[in-house]
Chain A
């Protein structure tokens, strides 16, 4: 039996994570740098701190495992696991989005973006602002104009 290759990932705050290479290459960014031979050892992962990197690795591990499993993990189970995985506070969710984007992990980016999209669904503009602490930077005239432009979409 061949020994599985392991790589070490280094978070932005200096913590090391040893993972199977098959898990690490869920990230196209990491995969490319390994293939190009430009990845150091350990592989530095700037912009992603240890807390988030740990979560990302957890996600990748789960998805690689379920793809390999002898008795395939039920799609439904994986969907349920994913749903639980994203039950985090907003700050963490956005950090995960940024990490998935930087590391180029499409399925994680998809999952996290869809989670945010679901949070927006059915909310009024004011509720959307509240949810994400967005400042309303329209002047009253602008706001009136924007609303009028798409009046029918609000009815």
Chain B
């Protein structure tokens, strides 16, 4: 074993799953060296294995929730404490990396990129001459060049009274550590992207808000940025989406198995999950229709689709509870009951070993 060339040892160890890989580090120095090698880690950021993460807004900890399908309660394991997160809100995730923006003072505080599995926090560089007001971000992964890209949308010459300005978009290149301008999103008058992004279907996606006088409503199209082509376009939401109650509440964008998904409330007893089956042709398909049992609250704001778990199950969050919903049996199983009713955040992310340290071989 000791005589095996490093490249072969690398090959053998890489066949382990995320957690086992980390366990390999404690066997001997050579194995640790292999697992810690940046090139080794970076080639693994497409690990299929996912982990359920839990974080309470305003708190320092990020936890790993281990779901036991047999046992009724998930195990809550602390991944680490992140005091840097104080005052920050999540914008979105990509391949297990979490992007945060300061919620009140984005001007004086840098954006943060966190890998909760390696416990690394990276302060992101700012684009030059940032406009006042809060820029909108997106972090995605270009699989053709194996590069992470961050997109920033802001509005120059923004007029607060009329809510208009000229949209501008820039891309951050993690390899060159520099910003460059790309085509601006062709937004209709008085429409702006929401802050939260979802990276799915190879693109960055944002809901659009129409500004009408005093309140904002969700538009019936979403803004999308193809990360490979570096082009903006629009994705119309399915025609079937009625506006029961308030389309703004209960409609959620999510990434399911790599594709863009929309969660919608057609009425007060069902939750529909639509998946963008074909990104180019903009074809949506209603993949799941979930019937809510009597004992679950029916109001729109309570339910949150976290992700698609294995074996045809969906992870749903509702107030204090996390459920596994069996798609075939139509059954809810509770797996955790201690989520914070107001501030709980869940992410179902690939286990990332990408290193965020800048250096000769940065993971980004």
Residues of A within 8 A of B (CB): 94, 97-98, 101, 109, 113-114, 116-117, 120-121, 124-125, 128-129, 132-138, 143, 146-147, 149-150, 152-155
What is the chain B residue whose CB lies nearest that of A132?
Answer: B1
With beta carbons under 8 angstroms apart, the residue of B1, B27, B29, B75 that contacts A125 is B27
What is the chain B residue whose CB lies nearest that of A135?
Answer: B28
The interface residues of chain B lying within 8 Å CB-to-CB of A147 are 26
CA of A129 to CA of B18, assembled, Å: 19
User: Are the C-beta atoms of B28 and A129 separated by less than 8 Å?
Assistant: yes
Q: Which of B9-17, B100-108, B163-171, B220-228 contacts A (4 or more CB under 8 A)?
A: B9-17
Given A97-B8, A98-B4: A154 in contact with B23 (beta carbons within 8 A):
yes
The interface residues of chain B lying within 8 Å CB-to-CB of A146 are 25-26, 32
Interface residues of chain B: helix, strand, loop or mixed (majority)? mixed
Given A128-B27, A134-B28, A138-B29: A101 in contact with B8 (beta carbons within 8 A):
yes
For chain B, the count of residues having a C-beta within 8 Å of the partner chain is 30
User: Are the C-beta atoms of B26 and A121 separated by less than 8 Å?
Assistant: no
User: Are the C-beta atoms of B25 and A149 separated by less than 8 Å?
Assistant: yes
Residues of B within 8 A of A (CB): 1-5, 8, 11-13, 15-16, 18-20, 22-29, 31-32, 64, 66, 75, 77-79
CA of A137 to CA of B19, assembled, Å: 22
User: Are the C-beta atoms of A150 and B16 separated by less than 8 Å?
Assistant: no
User: Are the C-beta atoms of B28 and A152 separated by less than 8 Å?
Assistant: no
User: Are the C-beta atoms of A152 and B27 separated by less than 8 Å?
Assistant: no
CA of A147 to CA of B235, assembled, Å: 47
CA of A155 to CA of B65, assembled, Å: 11
With beta carbons under 8 angstroms apart, the residue of B11, B15, B25, B75 that contacts A150 is B25
The interface residues of chain B lying within 8 Å CB-to-CB of A150 are 22-23, 25-26
User: Are the C-beta atoms of B22 and A153 separated by less than 8 Å?
Assistant: yes
The interface residues of chain A lying within 8 Å CB-to-CB of B11 are 109, 113
Given A113-B15, A117-B16: A101 in contact with B25 (beta carbons within 8 A):
no
